[in-house]
Structure 1
Amino acid sequence: RFVLVGRTVAPPPATGADKTSLVVELPDDHPGALLEMLEQFATRGINLSLLASRPIGDSLGRYRFVIDADGHIQDERMADALMGLRRFSPKVIFLGSYPRADRSIVRYSHRYADDVFVEARDWLRGLLSGEPGV
């Protein structure tokens, strides 16, 4: 499905009509493991257009998931989701962020807008520096 030719390069700039592709390995087989992975996207309002499981083959119950998610790595919500995935699983392979084939603009509810994520991060930084937590 994917071919990598050449050296690592930065993803193209975000267009607003983007997709990000990943491979994520569940760290272990336990009840709720898949839910924990999917929550990284759901709590940030990111739609998944592809979720396919592939057995790893080294032991029973171990899987990798191929994921296509609406959005670009430069989007605050996607960057936050990728950080959450990395904390959840040390085996996250970033395949790329790129324009969607249909060029359809990705729409989000206001509560998932980039400026909301930036404001929340700034609020937390303020708390850490001793500002009032209003």
Structure 2
Amino acid sequence: MAVVGDRTGALLALLSEFAVRGISLTRIESRPTRERLGVYSFSLDCEGHVADARVGEALAALHRVCDDVRFLGSYARADGRENVPVPEVAADAAFAEAEDWLARIRGSRCS
């Protein structure tokens, strides 16, 4: 569950964290928190496991952009099948290569 405050683009920021990593959302529900007008909690289910780098990174990003994040669990698929393959640009290897590239740039520019 993620709690999103009343600010422009808050829901887009939440959804973008999954989209940029090629993670499919299988369920999304919204509820007002009754805290104050414009504050909603979102309950999300996604394909993938918290141990997958891209899913873990998406959760960490939610922690950055949401007022509150509650992780309720990560489970294997009930049908035993593997998740649908993600596009090459959203695979764990692509994110790892991008991080390595950035580290090399930072290392060469900061010396």
State whether structure 2 residue 4 is matched by structure 1 residue 33: no
| RMSD between superposed Cα atoms in Å | 1.5
Which of 65, 70, 85 matches 2:62?
Answer: 85
Alpha-carbon distance in 1 for matches of 2:53, 2:98: 11
Letter in 1 for 2:95: F
TM-score, with normalisation over the residues of structure 2? 0.88
Instruction: Quote the sequence identity (%).
Output: 42
- Aligned-pair CA distance for 1:126: 1.6
Alpha-carbon distance in 2 for matches of 1:42, 1:65: 16
1:122 to 1:92, Cα distance in 2 relative to 1, 3 A? same
> Runs of 5+ in structure 1 lacking a partner?
1-22
Q: How many residues align?
A: 108
Alpha-carbon distance in 1 for matches of 2:106, 2:9: 32
State whether structure 2 residue 42 is matched by structure 1 residue 65: yes
The residue aligned with 1:52 is: 29
User: Going by fraction, where is helix more abundant, 1 or 2?
Assistant: 2
The residue aligned with 2:75 is: 98
User: Going by fraction, where is strand more abundant, 1 or 2?
Assistant: 1
SS of equivalent to 1:81: helix
The residue aligned with 1:24 is: 2
TM-score, with normalisation over the residues of structure 1? 0.74
> Runs of 5+ in structure 2 lacking a partner?
none
